[in-house]
Amino acid sequence: MKPFANNYVSNRVLKLNIGFLLTAGPGHSHDSTFDVPAVRVADDVFLKYIKGPIRLSRAKEGILVQGDLEIGIEDECYRCLEPVSRSINIKIEELYGYQSPGNAEFRLYDDGILDLAPLVRAEALIVLSRGILCRENCKGLCPECGTNLNYETCDCALEGIDLRFAQLKELLDGK
Ligand SMILES: [Zn+2]
Ligand SMILES: [Zn+2]
């Protein structure tokens, strides 16, 4: 578990009670604005916030969830490993069915609870797997000495060139 996990609320806040929509019948929808503080979406996904409009529509087969959400991501820059805080937009759209044999994560249970956590987690993992950069042109770490090349320079690349020159010179000199 991450050290700051204490400040993150449980993913219970992502469980929506949609019983009223189920009784309302097909064709009804409900719009709301999501505004969730730092939340532990799953053991591998922590978000600083989730906000934005979300629409729940009652379809024949279940509930269609559509959202245009902004999520706050904290991660390491994948080139230089510095901590990065980013706001990313994700679009979610998924039909939560009464029976989805192939997709048990996105299903409605008898208690009228719809759990958004697996859906938000899946989208966040896509974003995270692409990797987040601290800046557009992050120079990363020197593979030789680990210097953060955004702030400092090192001579490793130069030494590599010097070495090749030396070897070339030796060849030319016939040593
Ligand atoms: Zn970086
Ligand atoms: Zn170096």
How far does residue 39's CA lie from ligand 1's centre (Å)?
25
Listed range (12-26, 75-89, 99-113) with the worst mean pLDDT: 99-113
113-115 vs 29-36, strand pairing mode: unpaired
State yes or no: pLDDT of 120 exceeds 50.
yes
pLDDT digits (tens, 9 = 90+) for 62-103: 899 999 999 999 889 999 999 999 999 999 999 998 765 666
How far does residue 129's CA lie from ligand 1's centre (Å)?
16
CB 96 within 8 A of CB 62: yes
pLDDT band at 2 (very low <50, low <70, confident <90, very high): low
How far does residue 47's CA lie from ligand 2's centre (Å)?
34
pLDDT over 90 percentage in the chain: 65
CB 107 within 8 A of CB 96: yes
CB 23 within 8 A of CB 63: no
What is the residue-averaged pLDDT of the chain?
88
Specify the pTM.
0.78
The ligand minimizing its distance to the Cα of 143 is: 2
State yes or no: pLDDT of 160 exceeds 70.
no
pLDDT band at 1 (very low <50, low <70, confident <90, very high): very low
